[in-house]
A and B are shown apart, each in its own frame.
Chain A
Amino acid sequence: MTTYILRRLGQAVPQLFIISVILFALMQAFGDPVATLGARTPPKPEDKERLRRMLGLDQPAYMQYVTWLVGNDWQKLDMDGDGIAETPGQRKGILRGDWGNSLVTRRPVLEMIGERLPNTLILMITAEIIIIVFSLAIGLYSALRPYSLFDNIVTGLSFVGYSMPVFWLALSLMYLFAVNFRRWGLPYLPTVGMFDPAVGKTPAELIKHMILPVATLAIISIAGYSRFVRSSVLEVLSQDYIRTARAKGVRARWVVWRHALPNAALPFITLIGLDIPFLLAGAVVTERIFAWPGMGRLFIDHTERADFPMLMGILMLISIAVVIFQIITDVVYSLVDPRIRLE
C-alpha cells in the first residue's frame, strides 16, 4: 500500500509539471497586465517600464516561469533600468512555498486565496452534503420501484434538471423566491452576497443567503447523480448474492440496507471522491449570479486583469487537490471493497 501511494505521488510530479507549463504558456497571451493597472490617470510610459521591472514582467517568459517555479533569490536583478544588475531577487518560488504575489493587489496569492476559500467551502460543502443525501435517497427509492409512477416522474424531472443551464435555474429561483415573493408580500429570500449589512454577520443571515445558491447547485447535480445511484442499485439487485440472500429468507429491508446499498454505493464513493477537489474551485457562474465572494469570483475577476500569479495559484491548488484526492479515492475504494487490490 505504501509503495502504491509513493508510486502514485511520483507519477503526479511530472503531471503537475506539465499542467503548470501548459497554463503558464497559455497565460502569456492574456495581454499586458500593466495595461490595466492604471488608476484614473493612465500611468506614464516610464512608470509603466519601472512597474514592469518591479513585477519581473521585463524578463523573458521562460525566466518568469523559472522565477515562479524555483524563485530568483540566487540572482541579481536590474531594478533601476541602468543595465547593471544590482538588487538581489526576493522570490523563493512555488517549490519552496512562495506562491508569488498578485499583480493587482501586490499581496501574497496564498493569503488572498485563504480569504476566499472558506466562503467557497461553506457553500460547496453544504451543497455537496445535500447532493449526496438526496441522490442516494431518490436513486434508491426509484430503483426499488423501477418503472413505477414515482420512478417515471423522477426520470422525467431528472432529465429536465440535468439539461438546465445553471444561470436559468438560478435566475428563475431568484425571480420566484426573491422578487415575486416580496411582491406578493410573502417572506422572501435575499438574492446577493453572504450577509445583509443592515443585520450583520450572523449565522441566521448566512443560512438565509445560502438557500438559493445551494439549491441551484444541488438541484442540477441531484438530477444526474440520482440516475447514477438508481442504475447501480438496479445492477446490484440483479446479482446472484442478492438472490441468495432473498432465497435464504432474509427480510427485504435487510437485503436492501445490508447487501444492496453498500455494494451499490461503491461506484458512488468514487464519483464523490473525484468531486471533492473541485469543491475548492467553487462555482463560477453561481458565485457570479449570487455575488458570492468565493474562489470562482476570484478567478473570473483576476482573469479580466491578466493577473497570472493569482490564476496560476488557484489552478495549481486545484490540480494538487485533484491529484491527492484521486489517490485517496483509490485507497479508500480498495479499503471498502476487498475485491480491489492495489499493487
Chain B
Amino acid sequence: MSEPVATSSTSLIPNARQATRPLSPLNLAARRFRKHRMASVGLYLLGFLFVYITLGSLLSRGYCAPLKKDLTGEAYANCNDTSLKLQAPSREHIFGTDVIGRDIFARTIYGGQISVMIGISAAFVEVLLGALVGAVAAYYGGWVDSILMRITEAMLNIPSLFLLIIGARFFGGGLPSLNFFGRELTGSVIVIILIIGATSWMYLARIVRANILSLRERDYISASRALGASDARIIFAHLLPNTIAPLVVSATLGVASAIISEAYVSFLGLGVQGATATWGNMLDGAYQYLETAPWLWFFPGTLILLTVLGINFVGDGLRDALDPYSTRHV
C-alpha cells in the first residue's frame, strides 16, 4: 500500500485532505447546517430548554404545608396548598402559584418533560404512519394506491383541530395508566400521542408517495428486484432511506406542531387529565384569570412559544441543509 501523496500533517496547503477527498452528501449537509445562522440560534434555544426541563427538576423542592413535610421533584410540583392559591410570582414561587396553590415553576419543569415527550412520540407516530402509507401507496400502485390516497384526502378535508377534537372524544380515558422511566403516566398521555400522530401524517404521506413514485422506476430498484429482494426489503432498505430528507424535516417540524396541538386540545379541556402537568393543561381555564392572574398562562405559553420557535429554526436549517441543490449556505 503506497503512502498518500499529501496528508494533513505534512501538507503546506491548509485543508488539503478536504481538497483531495470528495465530501460525502452528509458532510455537505452538515456543513450547510453549521453555517445556517438561524439553525444555530435554534439549537442554543433548545439546549437551554433541555437544561431547564432536566436539571431544573433539581430546583423543584420546598415545604408542602398540607403534607407537613419537605418535598422534592414531581411530588412537590403536584403539592397543592390551597391557602397559597393564585399567588403572584414571589421569592418562594418565582412563577407564582395556580388555582389550587401548586408551584407553577415546578410544574413548568415537569410539564415540559411530558410536553416534549408527547411532541417527540407523536412526531414518531406521524412519521411512521406517513412513511408507511406513502411508501405502500406508491410502491404497490393500483387499487392500494387509490384507497390509501382517498383516505388521505378524506382526512385532509376536515380541519385538523376538528379531527383532533373528535379523536380526543373517541379515545377519551380509554387506556390504563403506564409506568414510564419511574413516572406514572395517565392513559390520556398515550391517547393524546396516538391522536396527534394519527391526525397529522397526511402531508408527509403525500410527499413520500410523490418521491417514491419517481424512485421506484430507477435502475437500482429493478436490480434489487431482479436479485430477489422482498417488497419489504425494497421499501425499507432502498426506497425510504432515499427519501430521508423530507422524513427528517417532517419529524423535526412535527415535534413542534405536536406540542402546539397538545396545547390546543388541553386548552379546550380535552387533553391530558389528572395531576400530570403538561404545558398544555396548565393553560386549561387560565384565560378566565386573564386579568387577575396572568402568570397562569404567561409562563407555560412562553415556554411553548420558545420550544416551537427553536424547533422551527432547526427544521428550517435542516431543510436547507438536506436539499442537495441548495447552495445558499455553503
Task: Give the B-binding residues of A (Cβ under 8 A).
Answer: 14-15, 18-19, 22-23, 26-27, 29-31, 159-160, 162-168, 171-172, 174-175, 179, 191, 278, 281, 284-285, 288-289, 299-300, 303, 306, 311, 315, 318-319, 322-323
* Segment of B102-110, B146-154, B218-226 in the binding face: B146-154
Contact partners of A285 in chain B: CB under 8 A: 161, 264, 267-268
Q: Does B263 have its Cβ within 8 Å of any Cβ on chain A? A: yes
Contact partners of B56 in chain A: CB under 8 A: none
On whether the beta carbons of B157 and A318 are closer than 8 Å, the reply is yes
A224 to chain B, nearest CB (A): 11
On whether the beta carbons of B312 and A162 are closer than 8 Å, the reply is yes
Interchain residue pairs with CB less than 8 A apart (30): A15-B150, A18-B154, A19-B154, A19-B157, A22-B154, A23-B166, A26-B167, A27-B166, A159-B38, A163-B308, A163-B309, A163-B312, A165-B260, A167-B301, A168-B304, A171-B287, A171-B290, A175-B290, A175-B294, A179-B291, A179-B294, A191-B290, A284-B162, A285-B161, A285-B264, A303-B165, A303-B166, A315-B158, A318-B159, A318-B162
* Smallest CB gap from A166: residue in B: B264
Decide yes or no: A14 and B150 within 8 Å by CB, A23-B166, A285-B268 being known contacts.
yes
Question: In the bound complex, what is the Cα–Cα distance between A300 and B270 (angstroms)?
Answer: 10
Question: In the bound complex, what is the Cα–Cα distance between A31 and B168 (angstroms)?
Answer: 12
State the 8 A-B residue pairs at the shortest beta-carbon distance, nearest first. A168-B301, A163-B309, A163-B308, A19-B154, A322-B157, A281-B159, A319-B157, A18-B154
* Smallest CB gap from A155: residue in B: B38
Per-residue A-contact encoding for B282-325, CB less than 8 Å = 1, 0 else? 01001100110010011001101100110011001000000000
On whether the beta carbons of B290 and A319 are closer than 8 Å, the reply is no
B144 to chain A, nearest CB (A): 15
Q: Does B44 have its Cβ within 8 Å of any Cβ on chain A? A: no
**B interface SS class:** helix
Contact partners of B309 in chain A: CB under 8 A: 159-160, 163
Question: In the bound complex, what is the Cα–Cα distance between A311 and B161 (angstroms)?
Answer: 14
A167 to chain B, nearest CB (A): 5
Contact partners of A166 in chain B: CB under 8 A: 264
Q: How large is the interface on B (under 10, 10 to 19, 20 to 34, 35 or more residues)?
A: 35 or more
Contact partners of B268 in chain A: CB under 8 A: 284-285, 288, 300
Per-residue A-contact encoding for B156-178, CB less than 8 Å = 1, 0 else? 01110110011101110000000
On whether the beta carbons of B162 and A281 are closer than 8 Å, the reply is yes
Question: In the bound complex, what is the Cα–Cα distance between A288 and B165 (angstroms)?
Answer: 14
* Smallest CB gap from B171: residue in A: A29
* Smallest CB gap from B168: residue in A: A303
* Smallest CB gap from A11: residue in B: B150
Q: Does B256 have its Cβ within 8 Å of any Cβ on chain A? A: yes
Decide yes or no: A278 and B166 within 8 Å by CB, A15-B150, A165-B305, A168-B301 being known contacts.
no
Question: In the bound complex, what is the Cα–Cα distance between A18 and B263 (angstroms)?
Answer: 30
Contact partners of B256 in chain A: CB under 8 A: 163
Given contacts A27-B170, A179-B294, A191-B290, 6 further A-B contacts (CB under 8 A): A18-B150, A18-B151, A27-B166, A159-B313, A165-B308, A167-B301
* Smallest CB gap from A300: residue in B: B268
Question: In the bound complex, what is the Cα–Cα distance between A252 and B153 (angstroms)?
Answer: 43
Question: In the bound complex, what is the Cα–Cα distance between A247 and B287 (angstroms)?
Answer: 58
Decide yes or no: A300 and B165 within 8 Å by CB, A167-B267, A171-B290 being known contacts.
yes
Question: In the bound complex, what is the Cα–Cα distance between A234 and B159 (angstroms)?
Answer: 31
Question: In the bound complex, what is the Cα–Cα distance between A311 and B85 (angstroms)?
Answer: 38
A58 to chain B, nearest CB (A): 22
Question: In the bound complex, what is the Cα–Cα distance between A171 and B287 (angstroms)?
Answer: 7
On whether the beta carbons of B162 and A167 are closer than 8 Å, the reply is no
- Our pick among B162, B263, B297, B298 for the contact of A299 (Cβ within 8 Å) is B162
Per-residue A-contact encoding for B103-127, CB less than 8 Å = 1, 0 else? 0000000000000000000000000
- Our pick among B38, B165, B305, B312 for the contact of A284 (Cβ within 8 Å) is B165
Contact partners of A191 in chain B: CB under 8 A: 290
Per-residue A-contact encoding for B32-63, CB less than 8 Å = 1, 0 else? 00000010000000000000000000000000
Question: In the bound complex, what is the Cα–Cα distance between A174 and B291 (angstroms)?
Answer: 9
* Smallest CB gap from A182: residue in B: B291
A297 to chain B, nearest CB (A): 11
On whether the beta carbons of B287 and A167 are closer than 8 Å, the reply is yes
B266 to chain A, nearest CB (A): 10
Question: In the bound complex, what is the Cα–Cα distance between A16 and B269 (angstroms)?
Answer: 30
- Our pick among B38, B154, B159 for the contact of A278 (Cβ within 8 Å) is B159
Contact partners of A164 in chain B: CB under 8 A: 305, 308
Contact partners of A303 in chain B: CB under 8 A: 165-166, 169
A25 to chain B, nearest CB (A): 9
On whether the beta carbons of B305 and A163 are closer than 8 Å, the reply is yes
Question: In the bound complex, what is the Cα–Cα distance between A171 and B167 (angstroms)?
Answer: 26
On whether the beta carbons of B165 and A299 are closer than 8 Å, the reply is yes
* Smallest CB gap from A30: residue in B: B169
Contact partners of B283 in chain A: CB under 8 A: 167
Question: In the bound complex, what is the Cα–Cα distance between A168 and B298 (angstroms)?
Answer: 7
On whether the beta carbons of B159 and A168 are closer than 8 Å, the reply is no
Contact partners of B301 in chain A: CB under 8 A: 165, 167-168, 171-172
Contact partners of B316 in chain A: CB under 8 A: 159
Contact partners of B170 in chain A: CB under 8 A: 26-27, 29-30
* Smallest CB gap from A281: residue in B: B159
On whether the beta carbons of A168 and B294 are closer than 8 Å, the reply is no
Task: Tell me the chain B residues, 174-207 only, with Cβ under 8 Å from chain A.
Answer: none
A202 to chain B, nearest CB (A): 25
A32 to chain B, nearest CB (A): 13
Contact partners of A162 in chain B: CB under 8 A: 312
Question: In the bound complex, what is the Cα–Cα distance between A285 and B268 (angstroms)?
Answer: 7
Question: In the bound complex, what is the Cα–Cα distance between A162 and B38 (angstroms)?
Answer: 14
Contact partners of B260 in chain A: CB under 8 A: 165
Contact partners of B308 in chain A: CB under 8 A: 163-165
Question: In the bound complex, what is the Cα–Cα distance between A179 and B151 (angstroms)?
Answer: 46
Interface centre among B159, B171, B263 (most CB of A within 10 A): B159
Question: In the bound complex, what is the Cα–Cα distance between A175 and B151 (angstroms)?
Answer: 42
- Our pick among B151, B169, B263, B313 for the contact of A167 (Cβ within 8 Å) is B263
